[in-house]
Amino acid sequence: MYLYHFNPENSAKYAAVINTFKEKAGPEIKVYSMLIPLQIEFIQNEKYKKLSSPQKYAIQYVYDKLSPDINAVDVYSQLETNADKYIYFRTDNHWTDLGAYFGYVAFSESAGFKPIPLDHFELYKVEDYLGSLHRITLNKVLEKKPDTVEVYKPEISYEYSINGDIASLFNEYYETQQNKYGIFLGGDHALGKITTGTKNGKRIAVIKDSFGNAFCPFLTSHYEEVYVIDPRYIKTNIVDLIKNKCVQEVLFINSVGSTEYSGIAKMLMELTEGQETPD
């Protein structure tokens, strides 16, 4: 599992860019921030846990620097309460779809809607997943207990497109590939759009790292349109984009690891200010 090392300067930069985004987006657009703790925060082995900085403090440090009109999502409490469940992969750095569900529950509390019960989703499983941690280490111990990718599919109708091309929200191609986490949204892309059968006129943009991939499908029961933006790939000014799409809500969802270095904050600032992110 990945270690986390708290960096106050870069954490402050991360908060600052979200504040800048909110200022440029204007009062009519509601902005949320969700920072997701990494798995090591909840392990029982204190010897290894002490190698990593306390993430609850780091997340609160960022939240305390956010403008008062930005909604800080308390995903930490949901994950801590359910830490005994299968919410993180053993062989991969991401949360599982169950972990993402609890993230969705936390977001629903901030956004003011009632989450769909877990048993209202269609569950299917893909076995024998050896994820990113195994690919990096080739650890034989991990091979003895591979992960299962559990996929919770919403009952609502939806259509998903990537950069304007029709795609699959749950891409079966990745079921036979090494990176089975790519099942969710077909992996990372500059811009995705989910159009749903929820005809309420609500539109949200999710600005995310790859943790957001498993999370976004849960929003289909609450928004008519969900725009999925990955700042690592998109080149467009994101403030202009959300205004052109008449988006009313924006969620920044990243792992707390995004605050350890300055790269994500730098990309977001360039995209907010309208400068292109260099290749």
Instruction: Tell the residue number behind the tokens 């954490």, with chain if given.
Output: 11
30, two tokens: 């509601």
Ramachandran sector of residue 96 (left: φ over 0; alpha: ψ -120 to 50; beta: rest): beta
Give the tens place of pLDDT for each residue, 227-247. Answer: 999 999 999 999 999 999 999
In three-state secondary structure terms, 252 is strand
**pLDDT of res. 241:** 97
195, two tokens: 């159009």
Residue by residue, DSSP assigns 215-257 as HGGGGGGT-SEEEEE-TTT--S-HHHHHHHTT--EEEEEEEGG
Across the range 100-120, mean pLDDT stands at: 97
Question: What are the φ/ψ torsions at residue 206 (nearest 5 degrees)?
Answer: -110, 115
126, two tokens: 């893909």
**pLDDT of res. 135:** 80
**pLDDT of res. 278:** 36
Residue 279: pLDDT band with limits 50, 70, 90: very low
Residue 101: pLDDT band with limits 50, 70, 90: very high
Burial bucket for residue 277 (CB in 10 Å: 0-12, 13-18, 19+): middle
CB atoms within 10 A of CB 125: 10
Residue 276: pLDDT band with limits 50, 70, 90: very low
In three-state secondary structure terms, 156 is coil
* pTM: predicted TM-score of the whole model, two decimal places: 0.95
Smallest CA-to-CA distance from 204 within 237, 238, 249, 159 is with: 249
In three-state secondary structure terms, 45 is coil
**pLDDT of res. 132:** 86
Give the CA distances from residue 270 to residues 82, 191, 239, 254, 275, in Å, rounded to whole numbers and listed in that order: 37, 17, 11, 17, 5
Residue by residue, DSSP assigns 18-42 as HHHHHHHH-TTSEEEEEEEPPGGGG
